[in-house]
Structure 1
Amino acid sequence: MEEYILLVDDETGILDMLEIVLKKEGFRNIKKAQSGKEAEKMIREFNPRLIVLDVMLPDVNGLEFCMELRKNSDVPVLFLTAKTSDYDKLTGFAMGGDDYITKPFNPMEVAARIKVQLKHQHMYSKTEHLNLLQFEDFTINKDSCEINRNGTVLDFTALEYSLLLYFAEHPNRIFTTAQLYENVWGQMNLGEEKTVVMHISRIRKKIEPEAEKPKYIHNIRGLGYKFIPHKKEAR
Structure 2
Amino acid sequence: MASNILIVDDEALLVKGLKYSLEQDNYDIDTAYDGKDALNKAKSNEYDLIILDLMLPEMDGLEVCQKIRETSQVPIIMLTAKGEDMNKILGLEYGADDYLTKPFNILELKARIKAILRRFNNKETKLGEQVIQVEEFTINTLGRRVSIGDKDVNLTAKEFDLLLLLATNPGKVFTREELLEIIWGYEYFGDLRTVDVHIRRLREKIEQNSSQAEYILTKWGVGYYFRSKAQ
Answer whether TM exceeds 0.5 for this pair: yes
- Report % sequence identity: 37
CA distance in 1: counterparts of 2:131 and 2:76, whole angstroms? 29
Map 1:1-235; keep pairs closer than 5 Å. Answer: 3-24=3-24, 26-126=25-125, 128-135=128-135, 137-142=136-141, 144-231=143-230
Q: 1:10-37 CA distances to partner (integer Å, 9 max, x unpaired)?
A: 112222332233234x342011221123
Contact 2:2-2:26 within 8 A present in 1 as well: no
Alpha carbons 1:80, 1:100 under 8 Å: kept: yes
The normalised TM-score by structure 1 is: 0.86
Give the deviation of 1:187 after TM superposition. Answer: 0.4
Cα pair 2:124 2:141 within 8 Å, conserved? no
Give the C-alpha shift of residue 85 in structure 1. Answer: 1.8
Partner Cα distance (1:183, 1:68) in 2: 27
SS at structure 2 position matched to 1:212? helix
Question: Per-residue deviation at 1:149?
Answer: 0.4
8 Å CA contact 1:160, 1:199 repeated in 2? yes
TM-score normalized by structure 2?
A: 0.87
Distance in 2, matches of 1:84 and 1:7, equals 21
Q: Which amino acid aligns with 1:216?
A: Y
The CA RMSD measured in Å over matched residues stands at: 2.4
**1:118 CA drift (Å):** 1.9
Structure 1 gap ranges (5+): none
Q: What's the CA shift string for 1:165-197, capped at 9, x where partnerless?
A: 111222222222111111121101344312222
What is the CA–CA distance in structure 2 between the aligned matches of 1:203 and 1:161, rounded to whole Å? 8
Contact residue 67 and residue 96 of structure 1 kept, 8 A: yes
Superimposed CA distance per residue, residues 179-223 of structure 1 (whole angstroms, 9 cap, x where no aligned partner): 111112110134431222222112111222211111122222222
SS at match of 1:83: coil
Change (3 A) 1:50 1:231: farther
- Tell me which amino acid in the other structure corresponds to 1:117: I
Contact 1:182–1:188 under 8 Å retained in 2: yes
State the Cα distance separating 1:117 from its structure 2 match: 2.4
Structure 2: stretches of 5+ with no match in the other structure: none
In the alignment, the residues of structure 1 paired with residue 5 and residue 170 of structure 2 have an alpha-carbon distance, to the nearest angstrom, of: 36
Contact residue 203 and residue 213 of structure 2 kept, 8 A: yes
1:113 Cα deviation after fit = 1.8
Deviation at 1:140, TM superposition (A): 2.3
* Separation in 1, partners of 2:34, 2:141: 38
Question: Which amino acid letter does the alignment assign opposite residue 105 of structure 1?
Answer: F
Q: Output the amino acid matched with 2:10.
A: D
Deviations 1:138-158 (A, max 9, x none): 232345433220212221233
Deviation of 1:54 after TM superposition, in Å, equals 0.6
